[in-house]
Amino acid sequence: MVQEDRRISSHAKCIVIAAAICAGTAATAGAQAEGGLYIAGAGSSFQQTAQKGIKNNPRGQRFFLLSLPPETRALMVNATPQLAALRDRVIAANGMLYVCQRDIDNGKIDASNLVPGVVAVRGWPPAGSEALPHGARYFDDEDPSKLPASNNALRRLRSTCAA
């Protein structure tokens, strides 16, 4: 009888471990289903970055493309036809287009000239600010569905856009 109790106990442990693994897998599945973050203007052009994002996410996997000035030209309503076509290919491939809110705030980007759908992302708030409470992923007025599920990608996005 003692041996039978041990088997039940071992069986119960296996079930608990399996449930924990499944829960962890489900929690990270959204992040794993996403592609990466690509940054134009950090040593590569919008064209290079967009092509890399499209190539690395061929099955319509959502990916993220942050453009830093001057590589934000492709995100403007008055972009050249070639840049506009590439921008539209990124969107059609399930790419999310970003600019840094700080670049709008400091006048490097005219927000009224951005095409619809471009998301302005804020960087980390200044030390001591409660704008983004400790442990929170999003500012109160942000739409989480427009940002990466991956903590690493969101951290890179915020770090790049920090003032």
pLDDT, tens digit (0-9, with 9 covering 90-100), for 17-75? 333 333 333 334 444 589 999 999 979 999 999 999 999 998 889 999 999 999 999 99
DSSP notation for 76-90: BTT--HHHHHHHHHH
Looking at the fold, whether 6 and 46 belong to one and the same domain comes out as no
Q: Please, what's the b/e burial string for 61-76 (b: 16 or more CB within 10 A of its CB; e: otherwise)?
A: bebbbbbbeebbbbbb
Looking at the fold, whether 22 and 45 belong to one and the same domain comes out as no
Instruction: Give the bridge partners for 63, in sequence order.
Output: 95
pLDDT for residue 24: 38
Looking at the fold, whether 89 and 132 belong to one and the same domain comes out as yes
The total domain count for the chain is: 2
pLDDT surpassing 90 at residue 86: yes
Q: 93-137 pLDDT, tens per residue?
A: 999 999 999 999 999 999 999 999 999 999 998 887 888 878 889
In the chain, what are the helix, strand and coil shares in percent, each to the nearest 5?
A: 50, 10, 40
Looking at the fold, whether 69 and 138 belong to one and the same domain comes out as yes
Looking at the fold, whether 65 and 83 belong to one and the same domain comes out as yes
pLDDT for residue 16: 35
Residue 4 main-chain phi, psi, to 5 deg: -65, -40
pTM above threshold 0.95: no
Segments forming the whole domain that contains residue 21 = 1-32
pLDDT for residue 131: 87
Q: Which helix (H) or strand (E) holds 104?
A: helix 101-105
Q: Which two tokens stand for residue 104?
A: 């709008």
Alpha carbon distance 66, 96 (integer Å): 8
Q: Could you tell me if 114 and 82 are in contact, meaning their C-beta atoms sit under 8 angstroms apart?
A: no
Alpha carbon 74 to its chain centroid, in Å, reads: 19
